[in-house]
Amino acid sequence: MATATQCHLTLQAETAADLMSRDVTPVPHHTPFEEILASLIDANATVAPVLGERGEPVGVISLTDLAIHVRESAAAGRIVPATAETLMTPTLFAVGPDTPAAEVVQDMLRSKVHHLFVVDAGGTIMGVVSACDVLRHLQ
């Protein structure tokens, strides 16, 4: 009979800046569905911030949002034209770069999100922390 081995993992990051990936490809709010999909695929990303008229973050678009649109279009029997603005989640969960890493993880769990954007004091997106980024920093 095999015995269970205890494994204690430690998060090897101090702050959100330590956890984040800097490769974030924003999507302008007027971008059509097909271009959003291509952008996410080309960037090997599952989520992107949506930017408004002045370049400010106004929401987030994910592959899940796109899949929901495809399902709804199929139910309607036709492809319904859509843009990032009509498909996005109008909330962008964000933390500052100096937010403690443990707090980032707690925020993700509490908010039930797989991504948190990292923004500077002026609201400019610096990066994104994904659940995979957190896992990558466990040792």
pLDDT, tens digit (0-9, with 9 covering 90-100), for 60-95 = 999 999 999 999 998 888 888 999 999 999 999 999
Could you tell me the pTM of the whole model?
0.86
Report DSSP state, residue 129: E
Instruction: Give exposure, 39-71, as e/b (b: 16+ Cβ within 10 Å).
Output: bbeeeebebbbbbeeeeebbbbbbeebbeebee
Domain 16-136 belongs to what topology?
A: CBS-domain (3.10.580)
CA distance 51 to 58: 6
- Asked if 97 and 120 count as a contact pair (C-beta separation under 8 A), the reply is yes
- Residue ranges covered by each domain of the chain: 16-136
4 confidence band (pLDDT: 50, 70, 90): low
